Amino acid sequence: MSAYQPENPLIVQGDHTILVEVASPLYEEARDGLVRFAELVKAPEHIHTYRVTPLSVWNACAAGVPQSEICETLERFSKYPVPGHVLIEIRDFASRYGRVKLLRHESGGLILSANDRPLAEEIARNKHVAPLLGQRLSPVEFLVSAAARGDIKQALVKIGFPAEDLAGYTTGEVLTLALRATALSGRSFALRHYQSDAVGAFHAGGSTRGGSGVVTLPCGAGKTIVGMACMEQVQSSTLILTTSVTAVRQWVAELLDKTTLTADLIGEYTGLSKDVRPVTIATYQIMTWRAKQSDDFPHLSLFNERNWGLIIYDEVHLLPAPVFRITAGLQARRRLGLTATLVREDGREEDVFALIGPKKADVPWKVLEGQGWIAKATCTEVRLPMPLDLRMPYAVADDRQKFRIASENPDKIGIVRKLLERHKGEPALVIGMYVDQLQRLAGPLGLPVLMGATPQHKRDELYAAFKAGRIPVLAVSKVANFAVDLPDASVAIQISGTFGSRQEEAQRLGRILRPKSGANQAHFYSVVSADTVEQDFALKRQLFLCEQGYGYSIIDAGDVA
């Protein structure tokens, strides 16, 4: 490329960060290429910043993106010549994926195989890896206990040489099932092309290159269907972990509607019932319950209750630490992670990569929107000033209390009223973090409130009434962030959130993205107190929206008609 191409949107910097000029006519094309191998760091109005990391490159490699394509994307869209050392380091990151392999040994243990002797020596002398190695079988091969499969994969990721796990999996208890051509609900049913591609990437024809990994798709794009199709490929007993009793019930309903499984083959394992059957669906909450802090986790024994052939981790970005620990010892089971975003608030993306598996499929949200598989969405931040009587309490509060005072700005009630009036007749959700705030808002607006303390039977009634149109607007707390099927919701108004949580933003936008009849249009609003820490955190939350290609407009409260 020439020395300077002003129409190009990228400036690739020597520290592996990439500045992206949003106003460039090539912005969208460049962004769609970048999100395959780079992480969005910040996204102010005009210049976005991405970063290339070893993990982002390894996930790209695992999803089938060759390093030549990564480098070509940077060179094609960069204003200036890409620093030579950046291209060399990207090639180095990519080359590290698969230089170490885990293979099955005839003894029933594993072989750790390096692709050359210097690397084998480096691994053998590393203080984190060496304790996990057994007998040295050759200059480049080591015996490894099958029980150490997860631990050694974690250790190798941390030293920069992720292992390609080709050791295979146990067959598990046989379970015959198939997807229906016509769902029991009467609707014809077939996998969409991107769902079929995701299943193929995960299963890999039953070879040792398949069987573990993460599928990343937006809410409403059919992650549950991908999970069921993977079950059909594996034909084995399956343990499904998800976020709530509501999500458990939705999995049960989908399995009965779209597969040949019968009710007697499906068990719920929650605080309400504990049936262990060939397909068992449990909540993360019950798996991590214990009577007191010093006790063991009694329900983690569910992982050994049957000879599972597949474990599905729904909303894998929420996987709690105790389940990570038990998963390290379950590497002989096929493992599928489903999520709308690989962003974790605890920074444990490397553990997802090592223990669940690398990213196998990832379709940009805007691509699916363009094809009509999810709704089009407009994203708007409404900024309103703090009331005069709250400015002094806000000024003298500590940081955490500042956030709450700003989040619970009482003037938000009027803005919500106007937004609901603007979208009168459209099914809407009002979403908040603080139950007290939701209740104060719901009273004047006459809205039912769904929160953590709402009994399950009442939740089911409210969801059913909303789906049927008997309740046009529902106020919901964080319980509705995950795996809740509200297909007709077309408006979401966020009045408070979890600080700068990108994963929460993804989930909340996802509540309204299921395809709709007519214009197939959804609207996502965030109501934010101006010139406060809430506004600062909102900038971090909108990173996810920008990363997925959504325009994000900011308006003043006075502009809400």
Round to whole Å and give the CA distance between 47 and 84.
23
CA distance 231 to 239: 10
Helix then strand then coil, in percent of the chain rounded to 5, is 40, 20, 40
Is 243's pLDDT higher than 70? yes
pLDDT at 329: 87
Give the number of other CB atoms < 10 A from CB of residue 319: 23
Mean pLDDT score, 554-561: 86
Domain boundaries, the chain: 10-96, 104-165, 193-363, 369-559
pLDDT for residue 75: 96
pLDDT tens-place string over residues 30-76: 988 998 899 877 766 688 889 999 999 998 888 888 999 999 999 99
% of the chain with per-residue pLDDT over 70: 94
369-559 CATH = 3.40.50.300
Would you state the pLDDT for residue 546? 67
Is 193-363 CATH 3.30.930.10? no
* pLDDT in the model for residue 501: 63
pLDDT of residue 481: 59
Cα gap 52→70, rounded to integer Å? 10
Question: 123-179, pLDDT tens digit by residue?
Answer: 999 999 999 999 999 999 999 999 999 999 999 999 999 999 999 999 999 999 999
Q: Is there a shared CATH topology between the 193-363 domain and the 369-559 domain?
A: yes
| Mean pLDDT to the nearest integer, 232-241 | 97
What is the tens place of the pLDDT at every residue in 449-491? 888 788 888 888 888 888 888 999 999 887 765 545 565 788 9
DSSP lists the bridge partners of residue 101 as: 113, 164
Query: What per-residue confidence (pLDDT) applies to 2?
Result: 54
The 3-state secondary structure of 502-558 reads: HHHHHHHHHCCCCCCCCCCEEEEEEEEECCCHHHHHHHHHHHHHHHCCCCEEEEEHH
What is the model's pLDDT at position 464? 85
Confirm if 356 and 335 have CB atoms less than 8 A apart: yes
How far is Cα 556 from Cα 271, in angstroms, rounded to an integer? Answer: 45
